Chains A and B, each alone.
Chain A
């Protein structure tokens, strides 16, 4: 949101080049041990390792500094680091002035949380569908840049693509800037005021982290940033699972921009993702809100009625996003093939529109209310993994039909006879009218396909053996389901079925596989070709997204993946040529990273504005006099010289200068202040979680004024400081298990390593309640309870928050009622609350009680 692409800016191996690594919002050694390999290598080379976390974990055990904080208080901690960096003038001035929007002026009517006691200008009541969950919303006009008055139409250009005129309509006059950063309405001055109250004393009051420890962290990161040094941050779901998760991540990006650590070796923000292709399933989106390559799904909530409406509403006139008409038309061609023509808006009229938040939580709420009739649960297990999982299991009982496809008989598949609700008699199997189909799955070594890992690397896995019995690949299931549906609709003449009839759906193998008994397995490479793109007329593979056209002559589902399959027989996801020893250590020959095989994004920023490396030690990508070159694929037009000025009235990258590294941002700058993209504020602000034992020590505003909360009798929240639920509860994973346990609790080798659900308690809290190690303990929240064995450990510690002793309680959440080892579902404790931007729930910080069972 501050940088331009929703992905890790760097790759774990590059952490070996860091001088300091901060792991926050992640238990990296535990959850990503092999990525942590590179952290340990950096440490052996002398890098400092800092772990900021409520618990002392396997990661803390390796750290030079463990900074304990209260779960959910990360923005206060990071805000403190930002304030320290500004107050001590430790920011990287040349980087900040040239590469960020620090010098840009914001509109006069913008009001900060400093002015409005914890909220920004534009707050208003939410008046939409309650199913969307919002408790409030912002009008964002006042957050915009101050711009020069419009000075007439830009110069008439030469020959253009069909939609260029439309793109040009979206051009805005350039924002006003003050490179001295002195103007009170520059982003820099706003930032300085905004974070001024995040003093070390305040950090200690809010987070519970001792001031001396906080200062050690502040000194370490500022001493290890600058032309000659870089600091990297690593985070995971410890930052996402909050009612202000995206703000935590953006707060980190803001700090990294101030320190000049983005786009540089050993720097960056490393997002550590938890599933094999969680990045891929966001890029190739099985997500309601976006279509391929981070384009917004067509919606009736915006003016998206025609293709031109959609493009007018969605296309940025400047930045690489000015090419969106090419991405969109090529995408529509991949949907509707020959039926997509210029005359019918390339089939845009058939494409479905969204009409609200159709994400996991509101869909399960709607299901609980009987509004959803059928469901696919494929490789996902909401009966354990869903928040307030009791509500979700009860919702499954309202379905007419449920299709589950997985490797083992999951809790979701077995909800109708084995759930706690059935066991307790609350639900009766005979009364559950849900028809359930369970399809067993092939595993990774049993079919061809690709995963996109945490560093955007698309990696191919080859089929090694047939799956047993009726197990089939997921793609086999969906392809053949689609073929059956195609047959069922073949004779329809209804206009509403025309789009489906036109849908391109042919992934048959040209010849059946000789070495498999499954002769009708679809051809995965045909799918990859459609994702990569081809010339519509000839079928010739596209080599780069630069070849995409907005006239229907190119077909491409995912513009960001264009280039992964540049020619028949050249599947770059399967490319296995690592660097030789002593090579650049970017391994461009190993698999394929989107976009365009770039490994560190925004790497233009690894050079000075004039194109020379910031220092010899941190050489990465530079201007050699003719072109950009270096250890990586430049994330910049390779022939654009550093001194090139931005073209007045230019669209796309023409508008940017040769020193604007953030090519996906309209102004080419990294955003310290986000005028767009975030619904809950242009700057991060500390709010308390939806449930907290303390009042917000920073502002009158307690929690995010625009968070999502689904108010229902079975989803109550504890009031602030409710004495019945005095402790902070945080949930997490263990290295020995995976998620809901479907891929681990059924494996004896893993099951025996962590066989039972436990709750981690400090000796102090255990003593208060007379709990001894291994005693059964009941943990309660307003939504439910769970039984677990006590693990009493000095790794947990009470913290003093705003003068009050706060105990934190930790629980892994891998257990359920199916598998070799079973246990209570910890997500029965959590609430249906979410962040307003991405509807991710808050399971990292809520409140509970603890008692001996």
Chain B
């Protein structure tokens, strides 16, 4: 911050922290703490207990990233230790945000490390009252099968007066503004390639 002649460049030095000879970070701390959630208060605070001594990012790699919430596009640094995310904070180099974040951006860590996070593929059969855990490949095969069947049964090649149409209106794709540009490209390309034209995202919200 502007107030800090004594600490000018401090954020850059943080990168050097990875090279410093600090305490070794325990694997349990690096794994990220469970932080409450639907299960209630089941929280392991042991890393915080020792906080005054250990710096969580001392052996961490800092990977530049972007906040996934609103469209301001604040720069973030994702700190990882042995491939595990241990911290996410603002990137001081970003001229968009200069290291600052809003509360959502500051919570990005918990978007990743969160006991409430879904990690299994679920399937619900027609009329079923429960989810069933499915294998990822099987679920993707099923999705492809459903798309093909619906497309083939509803594809319209020409209008009543014989003009080219090449589409189906029986499949609707919704979403995109929170995902990557590259995904938006392949999603609309795949769907338009198939003749699915009802493609929409949050831009209309």
Which of A168-176, A347-355, A682-690 binds B? A347-355
Q: A368 CA to B204 CA in the complex, in Å?
A: 19
Q: A417 CA to B144 CA in the complex, in Å?
A: 25
The reply to whether A738 and B104 contact each other, CB–CB distance below 8 Å, is yes
Kindly state whether residue B25 has any CB partner on chain A within 8 Å. no
0/1 interface trace, chain B 117-137, chain A, CB 8 Å (1 if under): 111111111111101001010
B67, B129, B183: the one contacting A475 at CB < 8 Å is: B183
0/1 interface trace, chain B 152-167, chain A, CB 8 Å (1 if under): 0011010100011111
Question: What is the distance, in angstroms, from B160's C-beta to the closest C-beta of chain A?
Answer: 10
Contact (A276, B94) CB under 8 Å given A430-B127, A437-B142? no
Question: What is the distance, in angstroms, from B131's C-beta to the closest C-beta of chain A?
Answer: 7
The reply to whether A503 and B63 contact each other, CB–CB distance below 8 Å, is no
The reply to whether A743 and B104 contact each other, CB–CB distance below 8 Å, is yes
The reply to whether A300 and B180 contact each other, CB–CB distance below 8 Å, is no
Kindly state whether residue B17 has any CB partner on chain A within 8 Å. no
B35, B100, B197: the one contacting A288 at CB < 8 Å is: B197
Question: What is the distance, in angstroms, from A755's C-beta to the closest C-beta of chain B?
Answer: 13
The reply to whether B181 and A465 contact each other, CB–CB distance below 8 Å, is no
Contact (A440, B121) CB under 8 Å given A350-B166, A481-B147, A485-B147? yes
Q: A459 CA to B74 CA in the complex, in Å?
A: 10
Q: A435 CA to B129 CA in the complex, in Å?
A: 11
Q: In the complex, which residue of chain B has the Cβ closest to the Cβ of A356?
A: B169
The reply to whether A286 and B155 contact each other, CB–CB distance below 8 Å, is no
Kindly state whether residue B171 has any CB partner on chain A within 8 Å. yes
Q: A355 CA to B159 CA in the complex, in Å?
A: 9
The reply to whether A507 and B186 contact each other, CB–CB distance below 8 Å, is yes
Contact (A276, B71) CB under 8 Å given A444-B108, A468-B119? yes
Q: In the complex, which residue of chain A has the Cβ closest to the Cβ of B102?
A: A33
Question: What is the distance, in angstroms, from B174's C-beta to the closest C-beta of chain A?
Answer: 5
Kindly state whether residue B48 has any CB partner on chain A within 8 Å. no
Chain B residues lying within 8 Å of A471, measured Cβ to Cβ, are 117-119
Contact (A360, B204) CB under 8 Å given A277-B184, A335-B192, A403-B143? yes
The reply to whether B165 and A286 contact each other, CB–CB distance below 8 Å, is no
The reply to whether B144 and A839 contact each other, CB–CB distance below 8 Å, is no
Q: A478 CA to B78 CA in the complex, in Å?
A: 26
Chain A residues lying within 8 Å of B192, measured Cβ to Cβ, are 291, 335, 351-352
Question: What is the distance, in angstroms, from A469's C-beta to the closest C-beta of chain B?
Answer: 3
The reply to whether A286 and B196 contact each other, CB–CB distance below 8 Å, is no
Q: In the complex, which residue of chain A has the Cβ closest to the Cβ of B169?
A: A358
The reply to whether B118 and A409 contact each other, CB–CB distance below 8 Å, is yes
Q: A405 CA to B72 CA in the complex, in Å?
A: 24
Chain A residues lying within 8 Å of B182, measured Cβ to Cβ, are 449-450, 475, 524, 527-528, 531
Contact (A286, B188) CB under 8 Å given A430-B129, A450-B182? yes
The reply to whether B170 and A374 contact each other, CB–CB distance below 8 Å, is yes
B83, B122, B163: the one contacting A466 at CB < 8 Å is: B83
Chain B residues lying within 8 Å of A378, measured Cβ to Cβ, are 173-176, 179, 187
Chain B residues lying within 8 Å of A429, measured Cβ to Cβ, are 127-129
The reply to whether A352 and B190 contact each other, CB–CB distance below 8 Å, is no
0/1 interface trace, chain A 272-290, chain B, CB 8 Å (1 if under): 1111111111111111100
Q: A576 CA to B65 CA in the complex, in Å?
A: 11
Question: What is the distance, in angstroms, from A529's C-beta to the closest C-beta of chain B?
Answer: 10
The reply to whether A274 and B124 contact each other, CB–CB distance below 8 Å, is no
Question: What is the distance, in angstroms, from A409's C-beta to the closest C-beta of chain B?
Answer: 5
Q: A459 CA to B180 CA in the complex, in Å?
A: 10
Q: A313 CA to B176 CA in the complex, in Å?
A: 29
B80, B186, B204: the one contacting A840 at CB < 8 Å is: B204
Q: In the complex, which residue of chain A has the Cβ closest to the Cβ of B106?
A: A749
Q: A334 CA to B38 CA in the complex, in Å?
A: 46
0/1 interface trace, chain A 735-751, chain B, CB 8 Å (1 if under): 11111000110111110
Kindly state whether residue B19 has any CB partner on chain A within 8 Å. no
Q: In the complex, which residue of chain A has the Cβ closest to the Cβ of B146?
A: A401
Q: A348 CA to B108 CA in the complex, in Å?
A: 43
The reply to whether B123 and A436 contact each other, CB–CB distance below 8 Å, is yes
Kindly state whether residue A373 has any CB partner on chain B within 8 Å. yes
Contact (A281, B179) CB under 8 Å given A372-B172, A430-B127, A747-B110? yes
Chain A residues lying within 8 Å of B69, measured Cβ to Cβ, are 275-276, 738, 743
Q: A417 CA to B130 CA in the complex, in Å?
A: 8
The reply to whether A746 and B63 contact each other, CB–CB distance below 8 Å, is no
Question: What is the distance, in angstroms, from A310's C-beta to the closest C-beta of chain B?
Answer: 11
Kindly state whether residue B18 has any CB partner on chain A within 8 Å. no
B37, B66, B167: the one contacting A352 at CB < 8 Å is: B167
The reply to whether A735 and B102 contact each other, CB–CB distance below 8 Å, is yes
Q: A480 CA to B140 CA in the complex, in Å?
A: 8
Q: A37 CA to B101 CA in the complex, in Å?
A: 10
The reply to whether B184 and A454 contact each other, CB–CB distance below 8 Å, is no
Size category of the A interface is: 35 or more
Q: A727 CA to B108 CA in the complex, in Å?
A: 38
Q: In the complex, which residue of chain B has the Cβ closest to the Cβ of A841?
A: B205
Kindly state whether residue B54 has any CB partner on chain A within 8 Å. no
Kindly state whether residue A202 has any CB partner on chain B within 8 Å. no
Contact (A449, B64) CB under 8 Å given A286-B175, A376-B172, A454-B72? no
The reply to whether B65 and A374 contact each other, CB–CB distance below 8 Å, is no
Question: What is the distance, in angstroms, from B118's C-beta to the closest C-beta of chain A?
Answer: 4
The reply to whether A437 and B179 contact each other, CB–CB distance below 8 Å, is no
Kindly state whether residue B12 has any CB partner on chain A within 8 Å. no
Question: What is the distance, in angstroms, from A314's C-beta to the closest C-beta of chain B?
Answer: 16
Contact (A277, B94) CB under 8 Å given A378-B175, A479-B186? no
Kindly state whether residue B14 has any CB partner on chain A within 8 Å. no
The reply to whether A472 and B136 contact each other, CB–CB distance below 8 Å, is yes
A281, A373, A380, A484: the one contacting B154 at CB < 8 Å is: A373
The reply to whether A499 and B166 contact each other, CB–CB distance below 8 Å, is yes
Chain B residues lying within 8 Å of A288, measured Cβ to Cβ, are 197-200
Chain B residues lying within 8 Å of A749, measured Cβ to Cβ, are 35, 103, 107, 110
Chain B residues lying within 8 Å of A416, measured Cβ to Cβ, are 124
0/1 interface trace, chain A 150-183, chain B, CB 8 Å (1 if under): 0000000000000000000000000000000000
Chain B residues lying within 8 Å of A413, measured Cβ to Cβ, are 122
Chain A residues lying within 8 Å of B110, measured Cβ to Cβ, are 747-750
Q: In the complex, which residue of chain A has the Cβ closest to the Cβ of B205?
A: A385
Kindly state whether residue A579 has any CB partner on chain B within 8 Å. yes
Question: What is the distance, in angstroms, from A39's C-beta to the closest C-beta of chain B?
Answer: 12
Chain B residues lying within 8 Å of A352, measured Cβ to Cβ, are 165-167, 192, 195-197
0/1 interface trace, chain B 66-84, chain A, CB 8 Å (1 if under): 1111111111001010011
The reply to whether A445 and B63 contact each other, CB–CB distance below 8 Å, is yes
Chain A residues lying within 8 Å of B203, measured Cβ to Cβ, are 278, 281-282, 287
The reply to whether B148 and A281 contact each other, CB–CB distance below 8 Å, is no
Question: What is the distance, in angstroms, from A450's C-beta to the closest C-beta of chain B?
Answer: 5
Q: A385 CA to B205 CA in the complex, in Å?
A: 8
Q: Which one of A379, A468, A841 has the greatest number of beta carbons of chain B within 10 Å?
A: A379
Kindly state whether residue A367 has any CB partner on chain B within 8 Å. yes
Q: A33 CA to B69 CA in the complex, in Å?
A: 12
Kindly state whether residue A644 has any CB partner on chain B within 8 Å. no
Chain B residues lying within 8 Å of A375, measured Cβ to Cβ, are 171-174
The reply to whether A743 and B68 contact each other, CB–CB distance below 8 Å, is yes
The reply to whether B201 and A281 contact each other, CB–CB distance below 8 Å, is yes
The reply to whether B129 and A276 contact each other, CB–CB distance below 8 Å, is no
Kindly state whether residue B57 has any CB partner on chain A within 8 Å. no
A sample of 27 cross-chain residue pairs with beta-carbon separation below 8 angstroms, ordered by A number, consists of A276-B71, A276-B178, A280-B184, A285-B188, A352-B165, A358-B200, A372-B198, A374-B146, A406-B118, A407-B117, A413-B122, A437-B123, A451-B71, A459-B75, A461-B65, A464-B63, A466-B83, A470-B119, A471-B117, A478-B186, A481-B143, A485-B194, A488-B148, A496-B195, A530-B185, A590-B96, A736-B104
| For the complex of A and B, 8 pairs with smallest distance between CB atoms | A453-B73, A469-B119, A449-B180, A275-B177, A286-B176, A273-B71, A380-B175, A484-B144
Interface residues of B (CB under 8 A from A): 35-38, 61, 63-75, 78, 80, 83-85, 88, 93-98, 100-105, 107-108, 110-112, 114, 116-129, 131, 134, 136, 139-148, 150, 154-155, 157, 159, 163-167, 169-190, 192-205
Given A280-B181, A743-B111; 9 other pairs, CB 8 A cutoff: A276-B66, A280-B177, A281-B179, A285-B199, A358-B200, A380-B178, A449-B180, A458-B181, A474-B180
